[in-house]
Amino acid sequence: MHQLLFVLNPVSGDIDKSTLEGTISAFCAERGRQAHFFHTSGEQDLRRLQTELGRRPYDAVFACGGDGTVNLVAQALADTELVLGILPLGSGNGLAKDLGIPQELDEALHLIWDHEVRQVDTLRVGGNFSAHLSDLGFNALVVEEFCNGDTRGPGAYVRIATQRYLDYEPATYRVRTDRETFEGPAFMVTLANGNTFGSNVVINPDSRLDDGEFEVCIIEPFPGTAALGILYQLYTRDFDASLYTRRLRCRWVEIEVPGQQQVLGQVDGEPLELPTPIRAEVIPRSLRVLTPPTPAA
pLDDT for the residue numbered 296: 64
Q: Where are the domains of the chain?
A: 3-122+287-291, 128-284
Ranges of residues in the chain with a pLDDT under 70 are 11-17, 150-155, 296-297
Q: What is the value of pTM for the model shown?
A: 0.89
Q: Return the beta strands (E) in the chain as ranges.
A: 3-8, 34-39, 60-65, 83-88, 116-125, 128-130, 133-137, 171-177, 181-186, 188-192, 214-219, 245-250, 252-256, 262-267, 270-275, 278-291
Cβ(287)–Cβ(78) under 8 Å?
Answer: yes
User: What confidence score (pLDDT) does residue 174 get?
Assistant: 97
Q: Which SS3 state, helix, strand or coil, does residue 259 take?
A: coil
Q: Which of 252, 260, 249 is nearest to 280 (CA)?
A: 252
Nearby residues of 259 by Cβ (< 8 Å), 6 or more positions away: none
The answer to whether the CB of 36 falls within 8 A of the CB of 5 is: yes
CATH of domain 128-284: 2.60.200.40
Identify whether the C-beta of residue 155 lies closer than 8 Å to the C-beta of residue 14: no
Query: Which of 3.40.50.300, 3.40.50.10330, 3.30.565.10, 2.60.40.1230 is the CATH number of 3-122+287-291?
Result: 3.40.50.10330
CA dihedral (146, 129, 285, 134) positive or negative = positive
Q: What are phi and psi of 234, to 5 degrees?
A: -70, -30
pLDDT at 15 (0 to 100)? 60
Per-residue pLDDT at 227: 86
Q: What pairs with residue 248 in β-bridges?
A: 216
What is the model's pLDDT at position 192?
95
Domains 3-122+287-291 and 128-284 alike in fold: no
pLDDT at 51: 96
Strands 262-267 and 278-291: unpaired
Name the DSSP letter for residue 256. Answer: E
| pLDDT confidence of residue 152 | 64
